[in-house]
Amino acid sequence: MIHLPAPAQFSWTECLWFLDRRYDDCLYAIEGQSVTKAVVLEGRPVLLRISGDREGLKVDVKGGKSASEETIQAYVRDWFDMDRDVRPFYSLLRKHPRVAYMAREFKGLRLVGIPDLFESLSWCIIGQQINLSFAHKVKRQLVAAYGGSVAGHSLFPAPEVLAELKEPDYKALQFSRLKAEYMITLSKAFADGVISKVALLALEDTEARMKALTSIRGIGAWTANYALMKSLRDTTRIPHGDVGLLKALVDHDLMADRKDQKAFLRFFAEFSGWESYMVFYLWRSLSPPQLAAS
DNA sequence: TCCCAGGGCATCA
DNA sequence: TGATGCCATGGG
């Protein structure tokens, strides 16, 4: 059993709530106050069962020979963004009349990430311009057909596996022709080592990373920003044009309508350095409150 | 039936 | 640089 003390402004309940939305994600399982996820660490599949309370998180590692405790800790801390001091973000939140309530209602919510960059980008391609319910269905089908598993818990398919697929294989999983093409390109790029988290992190700044990502066919500004937020932990990215984000901004009376670009920029200028957190909290605000209580 | 969904790309002015 | 049309399919 591994213990991770909770940092300031960290709520396991809020993080778990985010994972436990209505979509039935196939890559982890929620049971009560714990989440179980299969993951490959140090080249070996392991099963992590994470539970928490006010003191912090407990990680139970299942399976035989597993990764080092240090690696497991780093994975969990990254997943829930536990190493970040979010207090400056909370100061900004409280200063803004329209969103100040989030500092109370979503207190301790961290930007729950997707540590695996390949999974993250694949998920973006799947989700492009389709509703989230259907996107999850397509992901489930892809994972069921080509992913691995640990004690019944699914792993996202490896790029080497997906790179071998052809368009009809993807079509059978309800990918569109273009998305099939994007997935083939993306998985080959990962399989060949052209893209990786390490390679992107080695670039000089966030703009260089954006450029590297968007040079890949099928990865536009929205996807690149999303992946930088969720996988590379860049807190300054905004997925411009995101329909949910725009809806939340209009709902909060922060934009007159979805085309009110000036208001959009004015708002985010007030959260400089914390744009991604603001986006995440706005997305959080879209979910009905009764789900939060369930 | 109709509109829209956590976009991306090609084309055109 | 911005606007427009197309792709493609399920959910509400």
Give me chain A's average pLDDT, please: 94
Strand C–CB A257 distance below 7 A: no
A207 and A175 Cβ atoms separated by less than 8 Å? no
Q: How far apart are CA A279 and CA A210, in angstroms?
A: 18
Distance of A286 CA from B5 C1′ (whole Å) = 14
A9-29 per-position pLDDT tens digit: 999 999 999 998 878 899 999
Among the CATH numbers 3.30.300.250, 3.30.310.20, 1.10.3720.10, 3.20.20.70, which is that of A2-83? Answer: 3.30.310.20
Q: How far apart are CA A24 and CA A132, in angstroms?
A: 11
Tokens matching residue A261: 């670009």
- Residue A172: the pLDDT is 94
- For residue A153, the cross-strand partners are A150
Q: Which nucleotide is nearest to A137 (CA to C1')?
A: C10
Nearest to A42 by CA among A60, A65, A58: A65
A41-50 per-position pLDDT tens digit: 999 999 999 9
Specify the pTM: 0.96
Domain A117-230 has CATH 1.10.340.30: yes
- Residue A288: the pLDDT is 64
- Residue A63: the pLDDT is 73
| Mean pLDDT within A224-243 | 96
Nearest to A51 by CA among A25, A15, A18: A15
- For residue A46, the cross-strand partners are A39
A58-94 per-position pLDDT tens digit: 999 987 668 999 999 999 999 999 999 999 999 999 9
Active-site residue, selected from the candidate residues A78, A169, A242, A260: A242
Strand C–CB A129 distance below 7 A: yes
Strand B–CB A113 distance below 7 A: no
Strand C–CB A132 distance below 7 A: no
**In the predicted structure, residue A290 carries a pLDDT above the cut 60:** no
Q: Which nucleotide is nearest to A123 (CA to C1')?
A: B6
Active site (annotated) includes residue A25: no
A126 and A142 Cβ atoms separated by less than 8 Å? yes
| Mean pLDDT within A173-202 | 96
**In the predicted structure, residue A153 carries a pLDDT above the cut 90:** yes
User: Domain segments of chain A: what residues?
Assistant: 2-83, 117-230
Strand C–CB A203 distance below 7 A: no
- Residue A294: the pLDDT is 35
- Residue A65: the pLDDT is 67
